[in-house]
A and B are shown apart, each in its own frame.
Chain A
Amino acid sequence: MKLDRRGFLKFAVGGAIGTLATPIPWDMIDESAKFTDLWAPEPAKGPSSFVHSTCRLCPGGCGITLRLVEDKSGRDEWRGWHHKEFIDRRRLPAVPLRAVKIAGNPEHPINQGGICPLGAAGLQLLYGTNRITTPLKRTKPRGEGEAAWEKITWDEALNIVTGKLKEIREAGNPHTVACVLDNKKGLTAELIDRFFRAYGSPNVIAMPSQEDVETVGLSLMQGTGGHLAYDMENSKYVLSFGAALLEGWGAPVHNMIVFGKWQEANEHTLVQIEPNCSITASKADKWLAVKPGTEAALALGMANVIVTEGLYDHSSVARCQGFEGFKALLESEYDPRKVSEITGIPANVIANTARAFAVTRPAVAVYGRGQGVMSGNLAEFMSIYSLNALVGSIGAKGGVVVQREVPFSSWPALATDAVAQQGLSQPRIDGEGGEIKHGVSMAHNLTAALKSGAVNALVVHEANPCYALPGANKFEEAAAKVPFVVALTSCMNETARSADIILPVASYLERLEDVTSAARVPYASMSLTRPVLANVPEARHPGDVFLTLAKAMGGSVGSSLPWDNFEALLKEKVGGIFASRRGRIGDQEVAMLGSPDELWEGLNAGKCWYEDPVFGGGGLTFSPQGRTPRLEPVSWMKASREFPMLLVAYENINIANRRAVDTLPYLTKNIDNIVLQKHDLLVRVNPETAGRLRLLEGDAATVQCPAGRLSVRVHMDVGMMPDVIGIPLGLGHSNDDPFLTGKGVNAYEVLEPELDPVTGLAVWWGTRAKLIKV
């Protein structure tokens, strides 16, 4: 039969009709829909479990709950894929697990179930793209083009580090080794400090913090050490001198939980004193837009009103020393009218606020600036802190207290040999303490020390001074002069890039560690981060790294650090809490527990140990050792023709700033487009000021400062004080993170610290500037 055109068409039509009677078309529609389902990666598909741990991304110490899902995917089964998952090296679950969610732990006293954006994004650190997966060794000398790395084994890496440290020690120069870490809280930091002291170096230096000036102030005025904390939950009137209470200061979630309770109770007043309409200022009941840097004068002006009107707490003042002198100072120098001229706050506002603060009990004055990284001078702290003595809030409920120490068992005596003793007798390279020594770190002096060639080896533990030290770019240059640099870090950052050896440390979700006393929270607390899973199997606990190094070093170093691993040390230390019978774990009194193991198990189940503060009226010395509370202006507060404006740094809870972690990808969705647009950072300028400079919204401009210039764009912000430029900290990274690198500029580069004449500490929060349209 001949097939002609018509016949073919009929065959085709018949075929088409027939096809409709088969599963083909319906199947294909179905299949195409299911196929698009495959365009996205598939979540794990096993059963869920929940684990409690502690967040360590900021000093807030929130309890977290992780949701884990067995890494078993339906599709994968069909395709017969085999998971090349980590092998349990640390008694981790045998079934591969994925962590899929971090939420706040409702049982944890600090955050009571709440969580901040950074904490909620923590899994992006665990699964981050710039995790360091093996120890790395630099292949080209520093300064010769792009950094290149060679993967080495832990044995090789530790051999190199031990070799170098031994060589320096044998030459009798242990004090030329320095270690930089973020802060000295917690057992890992204490262990590192102990390692270096046994080695013979006094140079374990923490990054700058507001707490440094507080430590000195507290020691002078009250003769005590420790960390200041505020019982804001019970305070009826909170006078905050610039602390970003609702934007990341102290324990951010704890503060926000308290703020939520204030709003419900409707019997608390929050007064925020700072130059710009920050979030805290806006949420406060009253915002006093003080001229930057004059907060001390305002505090003393208020003190003047309280003292002259006799509104102060007489019994509290009776416990204080030097009140008469203080009173005379207030009367002669800080009359509200005069203070009004200095601060820009009307005299009647000063007086009314002072009266309300004095008559509402309990009330508390909070010293602070931003999230707690930037710092003012000692005189400023003393001025603000004095207000607490006037209203009877020192050590009182609803006032300011010194956090009690967690009663860990004490460290055994340090074994030091002759070399160590010789090294420890050398002065600290950061010139710790100016006129008065209080053992605080002076990281701002590191740049000069490194430049001078006084440092033969630098160990940086989970800190990023090449990015986050005021004058950061200068630190990087100086670090290039150090013959040997080791960085312990879980992610690639600016400092690791200028190291010779990078040691990958486990992230906070992969290691067992104490989180000791959440910042600024009135009660002492301790809970554990737990090794929930090991996404980077090669990463090690930093405590274990130093214990291994100590063994390899031998001698007094080895005998000072005899523990097999960090867990053994931690368990021993926790024994001290049990022995003290102090505090509670969860809802149980420690004194009621039968054995230290019960406490250990509780902590390992994610429960928090905490202990209420002991309240009691305290006093202080208003003018200890001749240091008086006063306004001590910093140089950049003075306008000059060359630099008519003031550049002030501010912090944003969605831009991670300096801590062990950088801004995580989820947070970039939260960064407003009035802060960052594509690669451009926007500075905040009052529209009036911008208009005078003929700048419009989004215009490109240059911020010219004494220490350098930054290319930015302009956002007109009505909440910004005229003639002040606001710049966020935390942008402008060059850390190989596709979500961060090259976005915005690093304000740390132009912020130059000024030295406090009394303490020698860095005062830094702003600089002179000129805004130039380009």
Chain B
Amino acid sequence: MSEEHATSGGREGGHKQAGGGLGMLAAGFVVAIVVGWLLYPAIVMSSKPQPINFNHKVHGAEGAGLACDGCHTFREDGSFTGIPRLDNCIQCHESAQGESPDEAKLVEQYVTPNKEIPWLSYSYQPLCVFFSHAAHVKMAQLECTTCHEDMSKSSSSPPVKVYRISGYSKDTMSMEECEDCHAKKGTSNACFVCHK
């Protein structure tokens, strides 16, 4: 072993090489980490602003007193409405109620011309996925905040980070997360539970 080392070291100056080598290894590692965590997201994802800066806080418990399911409701056929439609907004915002520039924008650009707001979804699933809100909310009685960020404290709508290749959001829940939770709760992980 040592002889081998000596041979190779002897030829190219082993001592110096060994230290520099580790350094290079570490340098490569650090560069990769920096690229992967800082540069990569900026390259593969674009950031898209929401059409209106929606303030969940003023609508929720601390403001208008609406619960999540005041706007995010189930339809009769069992499907989940997700982001509410303009009809919901109009119920209160037929005309502006306050001074907020976002509300003014809502009334001016959407309510008056009766145009749907092109909201961007943070957690839109791929076509092959069937996610049942009814199963999670109605049957398993999970809180919205188990999966979604607690929006009741948030006073702004952050831009949506969207992958440039697939067009899906950064916050789209991954299969791993689904599987982990299902395994923990003893729920089936058979493919056709969540795939379509």
Contact = CB atoms under 8 A, between A and B. Distances in A.
A15 B44 contact: no
A30 B174 contact: yes
A14 B32 contact: yes
Nearest to A74: B124
Given A15-B28, A78-B48, A21 B167 contact: no
Given A37-B127, A47-B75, A23 B165 contact: no
B25 interface: yes
Interface stretch (B101-109, B114-122, B142-150, B182-190): B114-122
Contact of B119 (A8, A11, A42, A77): A77
B166 A17 contact: no
Interface stretch (B33-41, B55-63, B91-99, B133-141): B33-41
A31 B165 contact: yes
Given A48-B77, A74-B121, A77-B120, A22 B24 contact: no
Contact of A11 (B28, B40, B120, B126): B28
B27 interface: yes
Contacts of B25: 10-11, 13-14, 17
B32 A35 contact: no
B26 interface: yes
Interface in A610-642: none
Contacts of B162: 78
A31 to B, nearest CB: 5
A3 B162 CA distance: 38
- Range of interface residues on B (Cβ < 8 Å): 35 or more
Contact of B36 (A10, A22, A31, A79): A22
A117 B126 CA distance: 31
A80 interface: yes
Interface string B70-98: 00000101010100000000000000000
B10 interface: no
B167 A18 contact: no
A10 B36 CA distance: 18
A328 interface: no
A75 B162 CA distance: 10
B37 A22 contact: yes
A692 interface: no
Interface in A25-50: 27, 30-31, 34-35, 37-38, 40, 42-43, 47-48
B17 interface: yes
A10 B22 CA distance: 8
Given A1-B20, A27-B44, A34-B166, A22 B28 contact: no
B32 A16 contact: yes
B40 to A, nearest CB: 6
Contacts of A15: 28-29, 31-32
B181 to A, nearest CB: 18
Given A17-B29, A18-B31, A34-B165, 6 more contacts: A18-B30, A22-B32, A24-B40, A35-B165, A74-B124, A78-B48
Shortest beta-carbon contacts, A-B, top 9: A22-B36, A14-B28, A18-B32, A15-B28, A18-B29, A14-B25, A34-B166, A11-B28, A10-B24
Interface of B: 17, 20-22, 24-33, 35-37, 40-41, 44, 48, 75, 77, 79, 81, 114, 116, 118-121, 124, 126-128, 160, 162-163, 165-169, 174
25 contacts: A11-B27, A12-B28, A13-B25, A14-B24, A14-B25, A14-B27, A17-B28, A17-B29, A18-B30, A18-B36, A19-B32, A21-B33, A21-B36, A24-B40, A34-B166, A35-B165, A38-B166, A47-B75, A48-B77, A75-B167, A77-B120, A77-B121, A78-B120, A78-B169, A95-B116
